[in-house]
A and B are shown apart, each in its own frame.
Chain A
Amino acid sequence: MSGPREDDQPLLSVRGLGKRYGDRVGCRDVSFDVWPGEVLAIVGESGSGKTTLLNCISTRLEPTTGAVRYRLRDGQERDLYEMSEAERRLLMRTDWGFVHQNPADGLRMSVSAGANVGERLMAVGQRHYGNIRGTAANWLERVEIAEDRIDDRPRDFSGGMRQRLQIARNLVTGPRLVFMDEPTGGLDVSVQARLLDLVRGLVADLGLAAIVVTHDLAVARLLSHRMIVMKDGAVIEAGLTDRVLDDPQAPYTQLLVSSILQV
């Protein structure tokens, strides 16, 4: 895995982020930065607040407190929640990707694989069918889907293929930041390995920054440079991924690491 480039400015800055659901705390006082080309894993068990955090930093859920700032391609840093909805949505379909755990949430199941990949291109104004299709075919190849499946619908695909298609659909506009919510969640172990390898390669080749939410420490180790451990909505420990996993400091992290089955 290539290391992050040494850009001086973070791509995404999260400060004092909190989300309350009435009296219940979704997450609280979370601060971190993500630099270009860097993969950050957010780990924790169900209910730890990691998905709430992911939704808050990806503009899918408005936080109660704190700020999320993002550096646009022109170098300008903007508070996501001070941007207009039109700007945010444009950002989401051009400069960002979001890979859902369940591919059906991120794909249009009733249109062909080619159209699924091409949609973002059409959304940003591409109007040449041949070029759109060519780009889609190229991306299907990159995610190891045979080109002759380009006109098939995702409902005819296996779980692993659907997930790879979802990744291609997200990466086609060359985003700089991709959010992934348990990207290997519902997949068989062998399928997971293939997907992880693919993601790992794409992230390195494209110099993507990624924020990966996972409960699987092996996924975090394989994909991420840095990780954040969450429990009860708060950050318990953060640092270099192998440091956190090999020398966990917080009691909870030690418990989490010692709970993994060794293969």
Chain B
Amino acid sequence: MTGQAQDIAGGMAAYNFAYLDEQTKRMIRRAILKGIAIPGYQVPFASREMPMPYGWGTGGVQVTASIIGRDDTLKVIDQGADDTTNAVSIRAFFQKVADVAVTTRTREASVIQTRHRIPEEPLTASQVLVYQVPIPEPLRFLEPRETETRKMHALEEYGLMHVKLYEDIARHGHIATTYAYPVLVDDRYVMDPSPTPKFDNPKMDMCEALQLFGAGREKRIYAIPPYTRVVSLDFEDHPFEVQRFEEPCALCAARDVYLDEVILDDKGGRMFVCSDTDHCEERRAAGHRGHLAAEEAYATTEAAQ
């Protein structure tokens, strides 16, 4: 990672490599290092204005900008897909300001910035997963005072987290929280895993990759170092369980993956397909076929281009 200024589009204002100035990156890296040292702890940082609105991943972008180097290969996913507006914009942003290689292949990426999903393919020790986080404080739901929630974290007073789960069961008969499902990190800090489906929670546990979380508007960074115990909170008589899908992916026939519902027409026609588009494509490339794969072949080929 070097700090050379980058001349962009000949004659326009020169940006520093990866947009942020080096002092800012150092500040953010210090926050990241602190976060790694205290797994699950929310480290405050001086979040910068970014050339995109809050809610578009400004926290994740700042983290990525601070860790990315010229040799890195970046993948950006939004709701599992590489081709939605947010993912495309962020990918284009880094191509422009850092001139890094980009990919949609999970396996090829060294830095993966994500919103709402963890790739289906297991991550490796040579990868970093950067999450975009809207609300980092898991206790916020019941305790609006920041002074109080910080004290609760400091003193490990986490009864309130179970109050939320209790309410779920009382109201719905089961823990109805399906995303942003709270976890206990390294047996110490309760953490909001960002709005990923709880389906992905088990992937965080003992993950080989470094996981970094950035919340731009809330000015917090936190981290899960590789091989860290991450446990989803639950009750003895209502144990944590992930969503199950009745049918496999309509395109690649994958089971045990997270599926999105896709509405096909206005007569109630629908199908369930992999949320992780890269995973789905790889499977189809390997010859796996779901029951609707033939009809969709054209559309997906086009999307992949």
The answer to whether A and B interact is yes
Q: A129-B166, A133-B170, A151-B171 are in contact. Are A110 and B142 (CB under 8 A)?
A: yes
Which residues of chain A are within 8 angstroms of B171 by Cβ–Cβ distance? 112, 151
Asked if residues B235 and A108 are in contact (CB atoms below 8 Å), the reply is no
| Chain B residues in the interface with A (C-beta under 8 A) | 142, 151, 155, 157-160, 162-163, 166-167, 169-171, 234-238
Within 8 Å of chain B (Cβ to Cβ): is A73? no
Consensus secondary structure, chain A interface: helix
Which residues of chain A are within 8 angstroms of B155 by Cβ–Cβ distance? 85-86, 89
Q: Closest 5 CB pairs between A and B?
A: A123-B159, A122-B162, A129-B235, A122-B159, A128-B236
Q: Which of A2-10, A113-121, A156-164, A210-218 is found at the contact surface with chain B?
A: A113-121
Which residues of chain A are within 8 angstroms of B142 by Cβ–Cβ distance? 108, 110-111
Which residues of chain B are within 8 angstroms of A123 by Cβ–Cβ distance? 157-160
A112: nearest chain-B partner, CB-CB? B170
Which residues of chain B are within 8 angstroms of A111 by Cβ–Cβ distance? 142, 163, 167
Q: A85-B155, A89-B157 are in contact. Are A114 and B170 (CB under 8 A)?
A: yes
Query: CA A151 – CA B166 in complex, angstroms?
Result: 10
Minimum CB–CB distance from B101 to chain A (whole Å) comes to 47
Which residues of chain A are within 8 angstroms of B159 by Cβ–Cβ distance? 93, 119-124
Asked if residues A129 and B167 are in contact (CB atoms below 8 Å), the reply is no
Minimum CB–CB distance from B232 to chain A (whole Å) comes to 13
Among B142, B170, B234, B238, find the residue whose CB has the most chain A CB atoms closer than 10 A: B170
Query: CA A166 – CA B238 in complex, angstroms?
Result: 27
Asked if residues A122 and B170 are in contact (CB atoms below 8 Å), the reply is no
> Between A and B, how many residue pairs show CB distances below 8 Å?
59
Query: CA A179 – CA B25 in complex, angstroms?
Result: 51
Among B142, B159, B236, B237, find the residue whose CB has the most chain A CB atoms closer than 10 A: B159
Asked if residues A127 and B170 are in contact (CB atoms below 8 Å), the reply is no
Minimum CB–CB distance from A110 to chain B (whole Å) comes to 7
Which residues of chain B are within 8 angstroms of A85 by Cβ–Cβ distance? 151, 155
Query: CA A131 – CA B43 in complex, angstroms?
Result: 36
Residue in contact with A129 in the complex, picked from B151, B160, B238, CB distance below 8 Å: B238
Asked if residues B160 and A130 are in contact (CB atoms below 8 Å), the reply is no
B159: nearest chain-A partner, CB-CB? A123
Which residues of chain A are within 8 angstroms of B169 by Cβ–Cβ distance? 129
A124: nearest chain-B partner, CB-CB? B159
Asked if residues B237 and A128 are in contact (CB atoms below 8 Å), the reply is yes
Minimum CB–CB distance from A124 to chain B (whole Å) comes to 7
Asked if residues A112 and B235 are in contact (CB atoms below 8 Å), the reply is no
Subset of 7 A-B contacts with CB under 8 Å: A112-B167, A119-B160, A122-B159, A122-B163, A123-B157, A129-B236, A133-B166
Which residues of chain B are within 8 angstroms of A93 by Cβ–Cβ distance? 157, 159
Minimum CB–CB distance from B133 to chain A (whole Å) comes to 23
Q: A122-B162, A123-B159 are in contact. Are A115 and B170 (CB under 8 A)?
A: yes
Minimum CB–CB distance from A173 to chain B (whole Å) comes to 11
Query: CA A130 – CA B170 in complex, angstroms?
Result: 10
Residue in contact with A130 in the complex, picked from B151, B163, B167, B237, CB distance below 8 Å: B237
B169: nearest chain-A partner, CB-CB? A129
Asked if residues A119 and B170 are in contact (CB atoms below 8 Å), the reply is no
Within 8 A of B (CB), among A69-114: 85-86, 89, 93, 108, 110-112, 114
Q: A89-B157, A128-B237 are in contact. Are A151 and B170 (CB under 8 A)?
A: yes
A85: nearest chain-B partner, CB-CB? B155
Query: CA A128 – CA B169 in complex, angstroms?
Result: 12
Which residues of chain B are within 8 angstroms of A108 by Cβ–Cβ distance? 142, 163
Q: A122-B166, A124-B159 are in contact. List 20 more A-B contacts (CB 8 A).
A: A85-B151, A85-B155, A86-B155, A89-B157, A108-B142, A110-B142, A112-B170, A114-B170, A118-B163, A119-B163, A121-B159, A123-B158, A123-B159, A128-B235, A128-B237, A129-B166, A129-B235, A129-B238, A150-B170, A151-B171
